[in-house]
A = this chain, B = another copy of it.
Amino acid sequence: MELSPTGHVILGLLSLGPKSGYEIKAFVDRTVRFFWAASYGQIYPELRRLADAGLIEGEARPAGGRRRTVYELTAEGRRRLREWLAVDPAVFEMRDEGLLKLFFADSTGGASAIETLAAKRRHHLEIVEVLRAIEPLAASKAERFPLVVCRFGIECNQWMADWCQRMADELSASEKAEPRRRTA
C-alpha cells in the first residue's frame, strides 16, 4: 500500500513514543506544522488506514474514565518509516501570498509594496517567536534532529524577515533618490 506523506508523519511521530490521535494533533501543532500541517480530518482516518495495514497498533487506554486509543508502531511500521527516510525527499512547495502581492506591486506604482513587505516581515518574526519558545524544549530531548529542524525554522524565518527589512529600506531609499514617475 502506498502511503501519503501525512501517513509517514504519523509513523514518524509514533517512533518518538506511543500517542493518541489527539496527542498527535497537539504534537504536530507544536512542532512540524510550519512545514507540514495536519488536521483531525486527516489524522483519524489515516490512523484507521495505518492500523488496517498493520503498520501501527491501537490499544484502548482510557485516561481516568475518558475513552482513549493509544497507537504505537509495529515492527513493520518501523521498517516502513526507515524505508521512507532512505528515499530522497520529493515534495517542496511554497504558497506565499506576500511574494505574489510583491510581484504585482508595479500595478500600484509600488505603493502597496512597503506595507506588503512589512506584513510579511511581521509574519516571519511571529514564527521566529513561536519557534524560539519551543527551542529549549527541543533541546532537552534525547533526539537531536528535532532541534536541528527547529533551528532551521528560526534562522530561515529570521533571514526572510531581514530580507523584507532590507527591501523596504532599499525601496524607500530609491523613492527618495528618484520619486516615482509613473503610477501605472
Interface residues, chain A, with chain B CB atoms under 8 Å away:
5, 8-9, 12, 15, 31-32, 34-37, 78, 81-82, 84-86, 88-108, 110, 112-113, 115-116, 119-120, 123, 143-146, 148-149, 152, 155-156, 159-160, 163, 167
Q: How far, in whole Å, are A140 and B77 apart by their CA atoms in the complex?
A: 54
Knowing A113-B145, A148-B167, A155-B163 are in contact, say whether A98-B89 is a contact too (CB < 8 A): yes
Tell whether, in the assembled complex, residue B93 and residue A94 are in contact, meaning their CB atoms are under 8 Å apart: yes
Q: How far, in whole Å, are A14 and B95 apart by their CA atoms in the complex?
A: 20
Q: How far, in whole Å, are A91 and B96 apart by their CA atoms in the complex?
A: 6
Q: Which of B88, B105, B163 contacts A115, CB < 8 Å?
A: B88
Name which residue of chain B comes closest to A82, CB basis.
Answer: B108
Classify the secondary structure of A's interface with B: helix
A-B contact list, 21 entries, CB within 8 Å: A9-B100, A12-B103, A32-B99, A32-B100, A36-B95, A81-B104, A82-B108, A88-B119, A89-B98, A89-B100, A90-B97, A92-B95, A92-B98, A93-B95, A102-B152, A103-B146, A104-B145, A106-B144, A148-B167, A155-B163, A156-B159
Q: How far, in whole Å, are A91 and B37 apart by their CA atoms in the complex?
A: 13
Tell whether, in the assembled complex, residue A85 and residue B112 are in contact, meaning their CB atoms are under 8 Å apart: yes
The complex is assembled from copies of this chain, and their number is 2
Of residues A107, A152, A163, which shows the largest number of chain B Cβ atoms within 10 Å of its Cβ? A107
A155 contacts across to B, CB distance below 8 A: 163
Q: Which of B35, B107, B163 contacts A99, CB < 8 Å?
A: B35
Q: How far, in whole Å, are A5 and B104 apart by their CA atoms in the complex?
A: 13
Tell whether, in the assembled complex, residue B95 and residue A107 are in contact, meaning their CB atoms are under 8 Å apart: no
Name which residue of chain B comes closest to A78, CB basis.
Answer: B107
